[in-house]
Structures are given as C-alpha cells and as structure tokens.
A and B are shown apart, each in its own frame.
Chain A
Amino acid sequence: MALQRLSFRLRQTVTHVRSLHTSGCGQQQAAEAVESEPEPLSVFRTRENDPACHSEQHMGQYYTLPSTHIRTLFPHGLPGRYQQQLKTFNEACMMVRKPSLEVISYLKKTDFSKPSLRYLFYGLNGTGKTMSLCHTVHYCYTQGWLVLHVPDAHIWMKNCKELMPSSYNDTRFDQPLQASEWLRNFRITNEPFLSKIKTKQRYVWTKRESTEEGSLLGQLVDQGISRVKTSSDVVGAVLKELRLQSGQPESDFRMAVAVDGVNGLWGRSTIKKKDKSPVESDELTLVYNLKKLLTKDWTGGAIITTLSQTGSLYTSKFDYLPQELLGERGFDSMDPFLPVSVPNYSEKEFESCYLYWLDRQWLQHPLSRTEEGKKEIIFLCNRNPSLMDRVCASL
C-alpha cells in the first residue's frame, strides 16, 4: 500500500529546511533543520504559521498547522482525504489561497457592534471550499474566538437512525445521536470558553433535572452528552445562549459560526416519518435552531459557510452556483451575504502543490518528475485540487 511505502520513505527523506516547531518526523529532520537553518525555505513553503499574518505574498505557499491545534480545533471538520494525508505525512500543511485570505481580511475589519455578516464559499466540486473554511476557522481560533463548527449540515438531513419526537415541541423531531456527537466535538474545541460563559436562563429537562440560571455552559454541554435523550434540546439551548450573549458589552468573546454544506439546511431531506412522508427541514430541532443562528439577529461575530454539492440531496451534479444550490428559500434567508468564489488551482498554486508532493516523496513514479509527466497531470486533473489528489495518489 502506498501508505506503508511512504512511511518507509519518510525515514530516509532528505527534505528541505522546515521550521523547528512543526511536528517532526524524526531526529533526522531536526538535525537537517539545525545545520541548514540559514538556507532559505523552499518556494512552496512559508514559515509564517499564524493565519493572521498571512498576506498576498504568501499566496500559493504551504503553511503548517500545529498538531495541538488540529486536535482541538478539528475533531470533525477536515475533509476525509485530507485527514488521511495528515496521518501519512505526519504534518498538516495547508495552502494559503486567495478566497480564504479575502475572508480573513474582511474578518479583520469587522465591526463587532454591527450584525454579523455572512460569507459563502462557492465553487465547483473539489476546488477547496472546505479547506478554505478550515483555514478561516483556524484564523478565528488563533484570534481567540469561540468556534461553532458544523462540519456538514447534510448529515443532519439524511441517514438518521433514531428519530424521536421532540420533548420540547411536539411538531418537531430530535436526532439524539448526531446532537450528542456534535456536543462532544464542540466541547473539545471550546474548552476554555465552557468555564467562562454562564447561562442566562433556567432550563428544565425532566422533573428532576434542570439547569439553573447562572450555571456554566460546560455543565449544560455535559448534561447533553450524558443524557443523550435531551441532547438535541441542549444543542438548541447552547445555540440560543451563545446567540444572546455574543456581542453584548459584558461578554468578551467573539463567535465564529462555521457551517459546511449550508445548502443542506434548506434542501429536501431523506428522513421519513413513520407514515413515510418526508420530514421538512424546519421540523428537525437541530436544523431549526441552527437556522436561527444564521440570521443577522446577533452581533459580535461572523458567519462563514460553504456550499457543497457532494453531500447534497436531489441536486444535479453540475450545480455549483449559490442560487442553484441554496434554492429560493435559502437565498432569501442568507441574503445579503458575500459570495466568495473558490476556483481551481492557478498555475502558481499548482506548481506549489506539485513541488510539495515531490518533496514529501508522494510522487513515486519516475516519469512524474519530468516535464512531460507534469503536463500529463495537468491534463488529467485540469488543476482541480481533489482530482489532482486522486490522480497523484496512484503515482
């Protein structure tokens, strides 16, 4: 398998210089780094690992995310193939690209007393929308914001194994499994905030259990994880609390709501009620509460979203523009938002990616190192990031 071959190769890798504080692959690396420190970095890497400092000059270059950040920030956010790549290369390198730089620049300029703005990444399949979202979320995290990351809104709209009528509102339905999983991941990401934020309202779960006013948010989240039955309502409560408290003068946190595949929230669902009629999106507690968070009623943060055709239901494979995927209702709810286009790799970005693969010894085929091979790769994948990944995986 490629993985085993690669890990073998990594031990013998003679790479370019890398920053000392990245997750190392072995003593060899450190030794190399020490003795060749004064040499300039390769073209495709940058030493600048703080997203806040990324700028135009870093475009097309790879920066490394610290592994501690990965573990806390992205327990569930990264694309599947990228996670496999993380394990293979033992480092998380992300490319700095224009769309995310644009959104980060807007985020830097946001006025937190005004209602939160909505940003939407859109583009063809496999051009890097989720990765741009993760880059932006990393920026928010390094700035100390509270990150509310919904990895894929489509998973709340399909394949539900347990659907219960909601205890809070009879007309709605709960999804305890998904809710408790999300709460768990939310807790991992936002540990520091959980002990700081206090609830403003009293929540009664059953006759004997209730969460008093003024208790910590962490308690609320724990309640939801332990009592799976009420987890959907806990999610609703958490979202409500955060929405009310964010942007208030006394709270000192900023909130970033990141939703991947936001078009799923207004799409059709494949979940069926007992009488085989499909469930509307507004009848699911999770979706209903999340939609409340996507409005512009609250201040002190930003909403960053992506469209996704790959997981969406009942949409054509070639749809990628916002209105096609969001539908009329979705567009009206998201309006006014800022659409940011994520295109395929440019020439420079392609070069960068190609050199990175070469550097990590991912391209084993001898012909892939030649000019001809490079042209062939360009021809096969048309500089589409995900296609390029799949094409090069077999080389």
Chain B
Amino acid sequence: MASHTSKAFLSLGRINVSGVGLQKSLSRATYATGVSTHTGGGNKGHPDRGGQRQGFIKKQRRTSGEPRTAKMAVDQDWMSVYPTATPFRPSAVPLPVRMGYPMKGGVPPEKMGNLELMKIPNFLHLTPVAIRKHCEALKSFCTEWPSALDTDAQCDEHFPVKVESTDYLSAAPSLRNPSARVVHLRVKLSSLNLDDHARKKMLNLVGERYCKDTDILTITAERCPLRKQNHEYAMYLLTVLYHESWKTEAWEAEKTVADMEDYSWEESPSQKNILSMLIRMKVAGEGEEEEVREQLLGRKEVQEYKNSVVRLRNEGESESTILQYKEAVKKVLNL
C-alpha cells in the first residue's frame, strides 16, 4: 500500500494508488493535466446511495458516425469490404435486407441489430468477381488439362475407372474428419471385358451396386480407417469380381428358370403353346414333327409373336407392348 505521503501532487511518473476513490481521481489527474481537478468523475467508485441520479453525469460516449454504407460508391471494389468469410455486418452491407417472422400487422424486422442475419452463413465474400480474381490468382499454380481429353467419351475411354473421395475443411480444434476416408469407385461395365455369362454372374455378385440406366458399377469402401487403405480395398474388390465372374463353378449348372435375368423364349411354355396351337390348326403341311416345328418357327408371324412376348416379359407391361402382342397374335392366328 502506497504511503499517504505520496499524495504529493507531483506529476512525476505514475503513482500507484490503490483503492481509494479520491486517489483514483488524483491519478487521472496526473495523466491528464498534472493538476488535480476534483471532477465528479470520482463518483465512479462511489455510486450515490439512494439512487439519486440528479447529479449523475453519464460517462462520455462517442457518438457513432454514419454507417459505411452511406459512403459506398456504386462501383466500389466489393472485395475490399468482404475479403473473407465474415459475419453479416449491417453497416457494411448496402442492401435493404429484412429477415425474421413478421409479427401481427408488421413486416420482417430490418437488418440493423438483426441476430438472424448474423447467425446464418453468408456468401458475400464469394461474388462472381471475387471468384474470378481467385481463379486468376490460382492459375499460376495449375497445370494445363491435357488437350487430347476434350470430351467425356475420351475421358471414359482412357480412364474408365474413376475414384472419388472428399476432403473436409472446418474451423474446429481438430483437422481430421472421419468421413474423409470414404472412397467411391465407379466403372462402366461396358469398358470391362466380360462375356455373356461373366456379365450375368457379375450382376448377381454386385447386386444393388449396379445401376442399369447408366451401366455404372459403384463400389464404396469405408471400412478401413485410412483413405489409402480404402482405395486399395476397392481396387482389390474390382479385381476379384472380374476374375470370379469369368470362372464357372459346378453349382452354376443348377440355375433355374426363376433365376434367369432375361426371359428366353426357347423352351418356354409360350413357345410350346403356340407351336401346339399351330400344329392343331394344321397350318403347316403334314410331315415329321421336327420338320414341322422348324418350319413353323421360321415363319415371319411366329417370329413377330416371339418378339412381342419377349418384349412383354422383359420390358414389363404397358399399353404399347400389349397392343403389339395383340397384333402379333392376330397375325399368327389369322384373324
């Protein structure tokens, strides 16, 4: 504790005074003028008891100037206002934005002091101009795209296997994100060398991972902790699938009609029906059964009928397939 003797009003250096309000005022006085002026500022430590505000003089507050928006030119450089991702500053954004729920008879609240606008993410730092400038700056670090790969088809031809993984950035204590280990491997089956049996077996093996419309097989690997491991696992899976689908096992001979992917007309009940019907109708001449069968099968109407049935079964029913079937039946049965 400083001795009271140092109360001497000397403007030499700073005097460490503690606690007593009077001395505080003194200390201020030493900074400012060197003469102690017993202003009412001393009341800071001693608020008046009993709440008499008569003599309470507010501390000096600087009045705020006009907002920055008032001084903005129309063709200003916006990047200097919002160079990075920053929360919404109503005084810096010259747009008359309103946000919030309009209470009874009112409108959404204005932007000044609007917490909702501040909470949401904004992309004011990513205007097209800004992005263009970023790209220009990054260009010097990029290598050129190979000129030979100018169409999608070319890319597919030279690089049929596409591997996709995602990197994550966030401002958080840790840099790591567990979702970054996921690897998607996409390949078009048409670019693989598969014959008919191999293709069917492959489709059976992969099941849901194949998309019929785009002919793309997608293998997603996420069971290993690192991206590199997942990538290698996905490549391994692709290799194994390819080689396994080319092999034919002994038990594959037990494949039944219900397992077949496509409807095949040969040896189907439909073929038997139509042949027996035509034989009964004695459409073809008399002869050996085999010959008659061959002859009937070779007929144009029967071929049309076969096409319509195959279409009906494979493509599913719709008005057009049913009509086609009807026409074919009419022709075959000579109606």
- Roughly how many angstroms separate A37 CA and B333 CA in the complex, as a whole number? 46
Contacts of A109 in B (CB 8 A): 335
Q: Is A115 part of the binding interface, using a Cβ–Cβ cutoff of 8 Å?
A: yes
* Contact of A115 with B280 at beta-carbon distance under 8 Å, contacts A335-B309, A338-B326, A338-B335 already known: yes
- Roughly how many angstroms separate A341 CA and B325 CA in the complex, as a whole number? 12
Residues 110-135 of chain A, each 1 if its beta carbon lies under 8 Å from chain B, else 0 = 00001101000010000000000000
Q: Could you say which of B24-32, B46-54, B221-229, B268-276 contacts chain A?
A: B268-276
**Inter-chain contact A338/B270, CB cutoff 8 Å:** no
Q: Is A324 part of the binding interface, using a Cβ–Cβ cutoff of 8 Å?
A: yes
**Inter-chain contact A117/B333, CB cutoff 8 Å:** yes
Residues 313-335 of chain B, each 1 if its beta carbon lies under 8 Å from chain A, else 0 = 10001110010011001101101
| Closest Cβ neighbor of B333 among chain A residues | A117
- Roughly how many angstroms separate A322 CA and B312 CA in the complex, as a whole number? 11
Least Cβ distance of B23 to chain A in Å?
92
Q: Is B112 part of the binding interface, using a Cβ–Cβ cutoff of 8 Å?
A: no
Least Cβ distance of A92 to chain B in Å?
30
**Inter-chain contact A335/B280, CB cutoff 8 Å:** no
Contacts of B276 in A (CB 8 A): 296
Say which residue of B268, B277, B319 sits within 8 Å of A115 (CB atoms). B277
Say which residue of A122, A332, A336 sits within 8 Å of B277 (CB atoms). A336
**Inter-chain contact B305/A336, CB cutoff 8 Å:** yes
* Contact of A335 with B317 at beta-carbon distance under 8 Å, contacts A115-B277, A117-B333, A322-B322 already known: no
**Inter-chain contact B277/A296, CB cutoff 8 Å:** yes
Contacts of A323 in B (CB 8 A): 312-313, 317
Residues 314-347 of chain A, each 1 if its beta carbon lies under 8 Å from chain B, else 0 = 0000000111100000001101111111000000
Contacts of B281 in A (CB 8 A): 114-115
| Closest Cβ neighbor of B316 among chain A residues | A323
Given A321-B317, A323-B312, A338-B329, 13 extra CB contacts under 8 A: A109-B335, A115-B281, A122-B322, A296-B273, A322-B317, A324-B317, A332-B270, A332-B273, A335-B309, A336-B333, A337-B329, A338-B335, A339-B326
> Could you list 24 A-B pairs, sorted by A, with CB under 8 Å?
A106-B335, A109-B335, A114-B280, A115-B277, A115-B280, A296-B276, A296-B280, A321-B322, A322-B322, A323-B313, A332-B270, A335-B270, A335-B273, A335-B274, A335-B309, A336-B273, A336-B274, A337-B329, A338-B333, A338-B335, A339-B322, A339-B325, A341-B319, A341-B322
Query: Chain B interface (Cβ within 8 Å of chain A)?
Result: 268-270, 273-274, 276-277, 280-281, 305, 309, 312-313, 317-319, 322, 325-326, 329-330, 332-333, 335
